[in-house]
């Protein structure tokens, strides 16, 4: 698979990681309905090609907006609030997917039966095999673990062929390309190169889990229409992390 097009990725089941901030659109906080609808349309189109899609979404658009008002909050409580924020984002995505004719299941690592399903691996796989988009929320259900780690963990547990991380830039760079015009972009990297260079695309735990389970990680930009489907199909610019 080329990082600049050519060669379709044959992945049958994939996991896409969206940041909470991506759901804000141009706003500074919360959920932008038009942006969520655009992502949902892209995901629904990907499903129509026969690819089984799972999602993990962050909560930074909600939690970071309120965290400044919370003084002296301990890490465990802060992480719990962040996990609850991902539930709200997951429900928003589920509603938008339904509006685009795509069935989904919101699955939570923290039991909250009146809102969404508790996570059970076999049930999640059954949903994927039935053509539903499975939206994993509440991270791993534990503090001190990021949603990047949750994404890789769920991808491995449900037998995904690759994990796709959506960002604001078209791959992994040696430095932040927004502040450093001399930053070098990589088409491909190994897991060990990401760790050794301390590249901040994902936390070290997520990369280590991906490496130990031979799960490719593809980093791409959400900037263009249809970006998710293009990345899953191996089109456009991105960075692939693998062995």
**Which tens digits make up the pLDDT trace of 105-150?**
999 999 999 999 999 999 999 999 999 999 999 999 999 999 999 9
Token pair, residue 13, equals 């089941």
Contacts with 202 (C-beta within 8 Å, 6 or more apart), sequence order? 148, 152, 165, 194, 210, 217
pLDDT for res 64: 65
pLDDT bracket for residue 1 (50, 70, 90): very low
- Cα 233 → chain centroid: 16
H or E element: which one contains 60?
A: helix 60-67
**How many Cα atoms occupy the beta-carbon half-sphere of 93 within 13 Å?**
36
What is the CATH code for 13-242?
3.40.1160.10
Sign of torsion over alpha carbons 158, 138, 99, 231: negative
Q: Are strands 104-108 and 52-57 parallel, antiparallel or unpaired?
A: unpaired
Residues forming beta bridges with residue 13, ordered by sequence position = 52
d(CA 94, CA 242) in angstroms, rounded, equals 30
Contacts 24+ apart (CB under 8 A), 95-101: 96/33, 96/36, 96/37, 96/39, 96/40, 97/40, 97/43, 97/44, 97/133, 99/37, 99/40, 100/37, 100/40, 100/41, 100/44, 101/44
**Which tens digits make up the pLDDT trace of 152-207?**
999 999 999 999 999 999 999 999 998 999 999 999 999 999 999 999 899 999 99
Max CA pair span of the chain: 51
Give the pTM: 0.91
CB 132 within 8 A of CB 98: no
CB 239 within 8 A of CB 187: yes
């Amino acid at each position: 698979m080329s990082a600049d097009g050519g060669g379709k990725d044959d992945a049958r089941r994939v996991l896409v990681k969206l940041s909470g901030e991506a759901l804000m659109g141009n706003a500074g906080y919360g959920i932008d309905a038009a942006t969520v609808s655009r992502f949902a349309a892209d995901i629904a189109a990907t499903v129509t090609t026969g690819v089984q899609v799972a999602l993990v979404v962050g909560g930074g658009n909600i939690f970071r907006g309120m965290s400044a008002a919370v003084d002296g909050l301990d890490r465990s409580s802060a992480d719990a609030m962040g996990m609850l924020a991902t539930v709200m984002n997951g429900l928003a995505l589920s509603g938008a997917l339904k509006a685009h004719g795509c069935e989904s299941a919101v699955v939570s690592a923290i039991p909250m039966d009146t809102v969404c399903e508790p996570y059970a691996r076999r049930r999640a796989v059954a949903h994927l095999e039935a053509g539903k988009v499975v939206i994993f929320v509440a991270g791993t259900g534990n503090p001190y673990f990021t949603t990047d780690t949750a994404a890789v963990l769920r991808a491995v547990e449900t037998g995904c062929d690759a994990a796709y991380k959506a960002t604001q830039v078209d791959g992994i760079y040696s430095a932040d390309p927004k502040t450093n015009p001399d930053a070098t972009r990589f088409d491909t990297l190994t897991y060990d190169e990401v760790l050794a260079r301390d590249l901040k695309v994902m936390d070290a735990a997520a990369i280590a889990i991906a490496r130990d389970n031979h799960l490719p990680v593809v980093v791409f930009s959400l900037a263009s229409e249809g970006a998710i489907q293009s990345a899953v199909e191996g089109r456009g610019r991105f960075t692939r992390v693998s062995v």
